[in-house]
Amino acid sequence: MAQAKCCPADRQESWSVRRPFHGNRDRSESLQQATRISPQFMESISTPEQVETHLGSLEFPLGMPTEETANRVYDHLDHVYAVSAFLNAYSGVDMWAFRKGFLDAGIRDHDVMICSEFMDAKSLVLTGNADTVYFVTFLDLTEGPMVVEMPPGTLNFVNDMWFRWVTDAGLPAMAMS
């Protein structure tokens, strides 16, 4: 038995290399013993003939899906991808409509709108809080970078047009520096 030289002395027993065929043992006997697999193991890794799911009964004769099973799963994936596309686009569409509403009301890019009242259930804001005074603007950076001054003592953040966080400004930004 050869010992591995790359591991600590206390771990060498677990890293020893053994010859599979030695002594008076018959090669075919050793091969049979090495390839013997229990029925429980085979069952644990095999595809069942039928699986009950929220999509209904899915059938896998000989481990392969039937055409009906494959079509049902692909139809479900199409549905999942459609829902995902809707949910991923929702915030972008909301911000586009929000900006369009600003422009339609005569509020141009870089103008600031200050909400004079708290939000309530009638507000057409996707995630408005009922205890926050909002001031909102849309910045157009197509002509280059811009410096933005925030009122002192306010809690501010910057999101992109997909409603993803870009940075904090005001109180949280000051606390981080």
Which of the four pLDDT bands, split at 50, 70 and 90, describes residue 151? Answer: confident
Q: Which helix (H) or strand (E) holds 73?
A: helix 67-104
Question: Can you tell me the mean pLDDT for 69-89?
Answer: 97
State yes or no: pLDDT of 58 exceeds 80.
Answer: yes
> How far is 49 from 114, CA to CA, in rounded Å?
63
For residue 107, what are its two tokens?
């509020």
**pLDDT band of 163, cuts 50, 70, 90:** confident
Residue 107 pLDDT: 92
**120: pLDDT strictly greater than 70:** yes
Instruction: Tell me what pLDDT residue 3 has.
Output: 44
Q: How confident is the model at residue 31 (pLDDT cuts 50, 70, 90)?
A: low
pTM: 0.56
- The label of the residue with tokens 């069942």 reads 48
